[in-house]
A and B are shown apart, each in its own frame.
Chain A
Amino acid sequence: MLKYADNLQQLEQVLDSYIAAKTIPSLNVILEEPISYFLKKTQEITITNFDSLIPDSEKMNVMSAVYVKCSGDLHIGVLWYMLEKELKPLAKKLLPESHVNEFDKLAISSISEIGNILTASIVNAIDNDKGCKVWSSVPGFAIESLNTLLEVVMSDFGYHSDAVVVSAVEFRSLHSGIELQMLLIQDPNEVEKLVV
């Protein structure tokens, strides 16, 4: 039974407005090309059923991911991920060739920074719109299966709640075709703070 089912649609609209106003312009500047996005779904799931978020066929897909944890008036986790093979085209836009080929610390740092900037775009929108003060962590970087990445993120929320609200968004750069996925994860008890 979804406790906050009535609010989920409203939450989706709020997130949609933040992404359109803040995240898309940020990503547009970073990639220097137009970006489209698609807010796929907002749903409440129990943490132990996190595997319902992804089809079985995608669970073992290896992804490059950045995770940023936000705390303060709201507790939010933002997982940015893309297929590992798409990481180099993204890195090429940001770094000299030598760093991309070896995919060194600087490359990881740059990718992490993108996750950080894009998360900040949402956090700032929340602050401006709702007055909620939220601080984000140092971004964490990983290359792993989607299943593993989600397990870590969901465990992180397990202390506070048995369920989470997850919003899934897909971003696509219109010239280079880079696809970036975002999962924004929230404590269901805090959803009302964003929809009031």
Chain B
Amino acid sequence: MIQMNRVAEVKMGGLEIITGDKSELKTFVGSCVAICLYDIYAKVASMAHIMLPKKLNEKKQTVEEERGKYADDALMHMMDGMIQLGADPKRIQAKMAGGAAIFSHESETGLFNVGPRNISAIKQILHENNIPLVSEDTGANFGRWVKFSLNSGEMTITSNLKKTEKII
């Protein structure tokens, strides 16, 4: 019997949408944010591995493998793709994890800690699109494995360094 791979792995800057053929979305994030949108009734979910808050050059074409790179771009692609696959925009909810500030600075300038800026940008876009953020595990200073189950709607966050597992 052929064993199907039921996990869709999301690469840095990538975006995946799953329906019944896959049951789980998975990625690893540090300062990047793993945002999941899902319609639990239609069984459609998407995950983006967001690197940066906003596309600076709006005219620049988004390549397929980097649809999840920028928060503004990614959420638009996620919503469009999910609706095409049967999701009801009114039922779509969000969960997210990541956005850590990995490097500490004596001056605390946050000069290259893009994590908090990613979190803030995503919340703003979710708010503007009336998408409820059900739960989040964001900030702090450690990397996270993030798994989202399409069946349960649960997001499992694991830190190898802190040796913790959390379900949100």
**Please, what's the 1-or-0 string for B64-107, where 1 marks a CB less than 8 Å from any CB in chain A?**
01100100000000000000000000000000000010111111
Across the interface, A148 reaches (CB within 8 A) one of B13, B104, B143, namely B143
Does B12 reach chain A (CB closer than 8 Å)?
A: yes
Say yes or no: A156 contacts B102, CB within 8 Å.
no
Cα of A151 to Cα of B115 in the assembled complex, Å:
11
Does A147 reach chain B (CB closer than 8 Å)?
A: yes
**Please, what's the 1-or-0 string for B101-118, where 1 marks a CB less than 8 Å from any CB in chain A?**
011111101011111000
B residues in contact with A159, CB < 8 Å: 52, 56
Does A144 reach chain B (CB closer than 8 Å)?
A: yes
**Please, what's the 1-or-0 string for A105-131, where 1 marks a CB less than 8 Å from any CB in chain B?**
000110010000000000000000000
B residues in contact with A108, CB < 8 Å: 104
**Please, what's the 1-or-0 string for B129-145, where 1 marks a CB less than 8 Å from any CB in chain A?**
00000000000011100
Say yes or no: A158 contacts B109, CB within 8 Å.
no
Number of B residues near A (Cβ < 8 Å) is 33
Does A47 reach chain B (CB closer than 8 Å)?
A: yes
Say yes or no: A151 contacts B114, CB within 8 Å.
no
Cα of A116 to Cα of B51 in the assembled complex, Å:
26
Say yes or no: B106 contacts A112, CB within 8 Å.
yes
Minimum distance in angstroms from B53 CB to a CB of chain A: 10
Given A67-B112, A158-B69, A162-B66, A151 and B106 touching (CB < 8 A)?
Answer: no
Given A145-B143, A148-B102, A151-B143, A138 and B107 touching (CB < 8 A)?
Answer: yes
Across the interface, A152 reaches (CB within 8 A) one of B11, B66, B112, namely B112
**Does more than half of chain B's interface fall in helix, strand or loop, or is it mixed?**
loop
Does A140 reach chain B (CB closer than 8 Å)?
A: yes
Does A19 reach chain B (CB closer than 8 Å)?
A: no
Minimum distance in angstroms from A46 CB to a CB of chain B: 9
Q: List 26 A-B contacts (CB under 8 A).
A: A48-B11, A48-B14, A48-B65, A48-B66, A50-B12, A62-B161, A109-B106, A137-B111, A138-B109, A138-B111, A141-B105, A142-B104, A144-B102, A144-B141, A144-B161, A145-B143, A145-B161, A148-B143, A149-B102, A152-B31, A152-B112, A152-B114, A152-B115, A154-B12, A156-B112, A158-B51
Residues of A within 8 A of B (CB): 47-48, 50-51, 60, 62, 65, 67, 69, 108-109, 112, 137-145, 147-149, 151-152, 154-156, 158-159, 162
